[in-house]
Chains A and B, each alone.
Chain A
Amino acid sequence: MFANYLIGLREGLEAALVVSILIAYLVKTDNRAKLPLVWAGVAVAVVISVLFGAALTFTSQSLSFQAQEAFGGIMSIIAVGFVTWMIFWMRRTARGLSGELRTKMDAAINVGGVAVVIMAFIAVAREGLETSLFIWAAVQSTGSGSAPLIGATLGLATAVILGYLFYKGAVKINLSKFFTWTGFALILIAAGVLAYGVHDLQEAGILPGLSNVAWDATAAIPPSSWYGSLLKGIFNISPAPSILEVIVWFAYVIPVMYLFFRKPKPAKAAPAAPAPSVPADAGAADATAGEAVIATTETASTSSSK
């Protein structure tokens, strides 16, 4: 039962975390009205995964493993694209926050709303089919005992609870810190997803190098242990990654971390902006500097970050 529990936990964890980050973000930016859209994205992903998994389990229809891996790999890469967009959108948002920006902020969040729904959908759908097949197998086996299904369901439930606890903690910290820390976490999660996507494409034969393993830490972090499952579930850390996976992970983390955490360039006096009397101390976070943020893109922000 424990082994099935760990798989349920692992499969559910990343989706639960990303969705709870999304929900925390909507709540903290006063956008509770958009929450039903997040649930809609999650629900559609769950329903599709359940139906697709049932079709593959109960009919003679089969998806070749190459097609399955290719699908997983492509979904993963699409997910990384969205998460990266979201990370930098959060960064821009964090820099420009101020009470006087409320109306412009609402407009900005409206645009983000659609992306938020897509993110909720992708977060669940990415691993959705794999999880669904695993759960349906557990359902099928209830004839010979319900331990697998109970274990798997408890694992998924634990993932949801952990996501909820994370949300509870996240809503308490101030907005700027929230954006910074969740951005950091999302970068690590996205890098793991990208490496996982590369691994899937290697398994599908689309990318080479599946057997060129960079290192083998399986003895230290067995995938069937609880800590191995947590690492895999949250950060997609595989104990024996291929060389390409490792390269891709660093190739993503290093530039993205740098771009995310670099100090914004000082605002050039935007010629188009209606002569805002920008204070000489460019480090001050105030509404006039904020207007420049909205007018241009991320390079113009000067507000304090912490």
Chain B
Amino acid sequence: MRSFRTRSIIVVAGLAAIPALAACGSSSSSSSSASASASTSSSSITVTSTDTTCDISSNNLKAGSTVFAVTNKGSQVTEVYVYGKEGDSYSKTVAEVENIGPGTSRDLTADLAAGTYELACKPGQTGNGIRTTLTVTA
């Protein structure tokens, strides 16, 4: 019995290590190793998502790491996507944050190279969303 219990504890502890390993794969927003962009400063943008609007504090961003502070002021659960250009449409998901409950705020961190993107707020977590264009300059 005792060795069985010890074995189980070891197994559970081993399993507990899995998310820890995943954490090793996470990146801090100020040191993204994959990014080759020269800019290391992070800019911060405010996004207010309601049931019908998606207001952003600025549509012009600098290339590099950007933190979108999203506040859900609507009555539905919302999610926010940053789409990059893919062919003719903005459909390539560059970054996303989902499950933002009404009345709460979440941060979306994205590393953006120069170019144009679309920010989409999706109240109700369905559909194409309410979109605004983002222009990222180097």
Contact = CB atoms under 8 A, between A and B. Distances in A.
B45 interface: no
B89 to A, nearest CB: 10
Contact of A67 (B22, B30, B104, B127): B22
A3 interface: yes
Interface string A33-65: 000010011001000110010011000111111
Nearest to A64: B27
A297 interface: no
21 contacts: A3-B75, A3-B101, A6-B77, A48-B19, A52-B19, A55-B23, A61-B29, A62-B109, A63-B22, A63-B23, A64-B27, A64-B95, A65-B93, A65-B97, A67-B25, A71-B19, A114-B8, A137-B101, A147-B103, A148-B104, A223-B124
A55 B27 CA distance: 12
Contacts, number: 129
Interface of B: 4-5, 7-9, 11-13, 15-16, 18-19, 22-23, 25-30, 75-77, 91, 93, 95-97, 99-107, 109, 124-127
Interface string A126-168: 0001100110011011001101100110000000000000000
A110 interface: yes
B101 A224 contact: no
Contact of B125 (A56, A71, A147, A223): A223
Interface stretch (A116-124, A173-181, A246-254): A116-124
Interface residues of A, number: 54
B15 A121 contact: yes
Given A3-B76, A71-B22, A122-B15, 10 more contacts: A3-B101, A7-B77, A56-B26, A63-B27, A64-B26, A113-B4, A141-B103, A218-B127, A224-B76, A239-B126
Contacts of B97: 65
Point out which of B4, B95, B97, B99 has the most chain A C-beta atoms below 10 A from its C-beta.
B99
A224 B103 contact: no
A37 B102 contact: no
Nearest to B106: A137
A198 interface: no
Given A44-B16, A48-B16, A218-B126, A148 B101 contact: yes
B103 A4 contact: yes
Point out which of A3, A121, A141 has the most chain B C-beta atoms below 10 A from its C-beta.
A3
